Structure 1
Amino acid sequence: MMTLHTAQRIARLQQSDIRAMTRACERLGGINLGQGLGDLPAPLAVKQGAIQAIEANAATYTASEGIPELRVAIARKLARDNGIHADPAAEIVVTVGATGAFAATLQALLNPGDGVLLFEPYYGYHLNTILLTGNEPQFVTLNAPAFTLQEAVIEAAIRPNTRAIVLCTPANPSGQMLSQADIELISRVAAKHDLLVITDEIYEYIAYDGRQHISPASLPGLRDRTVMISGFSKTFSITGWRLGYVVAPAALARAINLVNDLYYVCAPAPLQRGVAAGLEQATDYLYQLKHDYQLRRDVLCEGLVTAGMRPVIPQGAYYVLADISEFGYADARSAAMALLETTGVASVPGSAFHQSVAGERLLRFCFAKDEATLRDAADRLKKFRPAAN
């Protein structure tokens, strides 16, 4: 009988708590506020653009960097909304989701053993992709509720093999947004240590209380060393379409596209056309998005407060971290399971986003749901009473 082996590169990987809680929620028939599964409808222009492409038999491979129409639409959007002027022919690569963009970037631009600085709480897929590519994750803990960047703390975390910093703004899971001062701080550190800056800006249009998203690559000192990653899953509520993109200096974009081609060949052809149509026509939708999500944020946070939790009010994205330390559970996973079993509402343990013990006092909730579902979840949460411990 053949001995079955698995690759050493996956030895440190585990199924994400996000997916584990989703499956537990499905078994119980609960309301899933764990995974970032947006329930809002996609804009009509996006859907119609994809339907028309399918009906026109746009089913063949595209160029690995994406169809020209979409790259031009992305370039227009970058100039209009991000203050970034990018050559659509040389500096933009369409990818299979932002996660595909991140994987291709690490493979193309870093060597095994290179250190990558992550700010915790971090997005778990960032960490696991870093591990899978053979890079070394290095951590800077940002403390709730302010999650403040401190230059001296970042400097202390940098090692001789550190080659890159990952920034997520608006952040998953904290909802924090980098300010101009934060980005200038990162620019100084990156220049001093000659670091690549990789930004995940997938939630760029979801910002609250009048805040404006700032793309780090819009700063002159960062443009030449930044790989900007974003996409359409969250903006257009099309998480299953798997469409993202990279914006980078031409030499870096070429390298990333080599890996993108090898791993994925190209992003889905008709869906690229749908998104291109959406970017050209859905401007009003993009600006309305933040208002709709702010209403949902406030509904959920009210429910969390009534349940005895202390939510960290997010500045952007569609997640909220809530402090559950007063409940007395041994760890965040126990608290999340108790909440699911007693209310039917799924969350994600904060430990999924931390290496440090700071995550054991937090749960993450997603409020990208239709309003009726979210109000039902909030009502259930208001009735939660922790079991005696």
Structure 2
Amino acid sequence: MKELSKRTSVFTDSVIRRMTRISNEYNAVNLSQGYPDFEPPVEITNRLAQVAAEGPHQYATTWGAQNFREALARKQEHFSGMKVDPNKEIVVTCGSTEAMMAAMMAVTNPGDKVIIFSPFYENYGADTILSGAEPIYVPLNPPNFNFDADLLEEAFKQDAKALILCNPSNPCGKVFTKHELQVIADLAIKYDTYVIADEVYEHIIYAPHKHTYMASLPGMRERTISCSSLSKTYSITGWRLGYVIADERIIDRVKKVHDFLTVGAAAPLMEAAVVGLNFKDDYYLELQRHYTHMKNLFINGLNQIGLKYTEPQGAYYVLVDISEFHYNSDIEFCEWLAREVGVGAVPGSSFFQENVNQYIRFHYAKKDETLNMALEKLSHIYSKARVL
């Protein structure tokens, strides 16, 4: 039989989802795949119950239900300070995963080059390959995960068509400063490059850090494709509601790509989620307080255990340094951790283009009892480990 696709032959299964399966196999506390174990806001789920009886149950407008787009535009204008046209500048997608893919396919041609900061969320490399583009990796340097501006400019000089920016960053929890974003913006303008901004953790920020929307910087509104979703902000990762916000010229192309990728997002879920999009500021302040509490609970526990880590500035992940355990493979370490210690994590090598093998990623979007259970199990890590 004829060979299958060459461009997908290099793919593996998702390491993140694989670690969830391994965690389940050993009944480990799953701190690998990034979804919460607490419920969404009751206002949203109550509305979903009403929608189940009342509808809508048929296709919405391909690029998103009108009331959803209008509510989203109001929310984003409030937080970003930028006017958003709900009819010309928004496409609602099936999660931010589709938003990123639609943005990539709308912007790039086969053979184009795309800059990706490393470490990176695993889908970015796959999106680039599926688009027929070529990734150029620029390292973020531990422990602060800053970038070298000169090295970044060298990547731009390779006639890069786009740069993917995850801010706040998964997996390292970095929040890019306004100065850093300005450096990126200046280079994007200088070399006529698009910025595809994954801002899914825009509301999960820890003081004193602040989120700056890339599109809000001078000259960046027309060349930034902002991708996000409702998954993290409203704890509804399974609803798969994402969106792209960009200049009308770009959105017109994204609409066409989206139409042939998925037709549209789920109409009943959009209707229920409008309630969340209309929440007032106190919801987002409480969200920040809640995640700050979870972060502090978890990293204080890591401190007591003696594990080394990089403190996150945003998102809900923490990279832990496992160098002292002298494993040759972080994948083997994570399998051992799930099997013998009872806690699931993601091997850091799945996020780095460089040969990095000393990090694992935990996430802490969990109830207090879940985090305390994980920390209790982790407290035995040294007694169970093969420390050389």
* 1:1-389 correspondence to structure 2 within 5 Å: 3=1, 5-281=3-279, 283-358=281-356, 360-385=357-382, 386-389=385-388
Deviation (angstroms), 1:299: 1.9
Measure, in 2, the Cα distance between the counterparts of 1:15 and 1:303. Answer: 32
Q: 1:88 to 1:381 in 2, by over 3 A?
A: same
Query: 5+ unaligned residues in a row in structure 2: which ranges?
Result: none
Q: 3-state DSSP class of the match of 2:219?
A: helix
Deviation (angstroms), 1:189: 0.6
In structure 1, give the amino acid aligned to 2:334: A
Measure, in 2, the Cα distance between the counterparts of 1:52 and 1:254. Answer: 33
Structure 2 contact 32–362 (Cα < 8 Å) conserved: yes
Deviation (angstroms), 1:57: 2.4
Deviation (angstroms), 1:159: 4.7
Q: 3-state DSSP class of the match of 1:211?
A: coil
Structure 1 contact 58–270 (Cα < 8 Å) conserved: yes
Measure, in 1, the Cα distance between the counterparts of 2:162 and 2:92. Answer: 22
Moved more, 293-302 or 136-145: 293-302
Structure 1 contact 303–381 (Cα < 8 Å) conserved: no
Structure 1 contact 12–131 (Cα < 8 Å) conserved: no
Q: 3-state DSSP class of the match of 1:278?
A: helix
Measure, in 2, the Cα distance between the counterparts of 1:37 and 1:187. Answer: 31
Instruction: State how many pairs are aligned.
Output: 386
Measure, in 1, the Cα distance between the counterparts of 2:328 and 2:123. Answer: 25
In structure 2, give the amino acid aligned to 1:361: Q
Deviation (angstroms), 1:261: 0.7
Q: 1:333 to 1:272 in 2, by over 3 A?
A: same
Identity in percent: 37
Measure, in 1, the Cα distance between the counterparts of 2:147 and 2:44. Answer: 37
Deviation (angstroms), 1:282: 5.3
Q: 3-state DSSP class of the match of 1:321?
A: strand
Q: 3-state DSSP class of the match of 2:232?
A: coil
Q: 3-state DSSP class of the match of 1:288?
A: helix
Measure, in 2, the Cα distance between the counterparts of 1:239 and 1:5. Answer: 36
Deviation (angstroms), 1:283: 3.9
Deviation (angstroms), 1:223: 0.8
CA deviations over 1:82-126 (Å, ceiling 9, x no partner): 122111110011110000001111111210111110101100011
In structure 1, give the amino acid aligned to 2:126: N
Measure, in 1, the Cα distance between the counterparts of 2:4 and 2:306. Answer: 44
Q: 1:134 to 1:307 in 2, by over 3 A?
A: farther
Measure, in 2, the Cα distance between the counterparts of 1:346 and 1:6. Answer: 34
In structure 2, give the amino acid aligned to 1:331: S
Measure, in 1, the Cα distance between the counterparts of 2:110 and 2:78. Answer: 37
Q: 3-state DSSP class of the match of 1:185?
A: helix
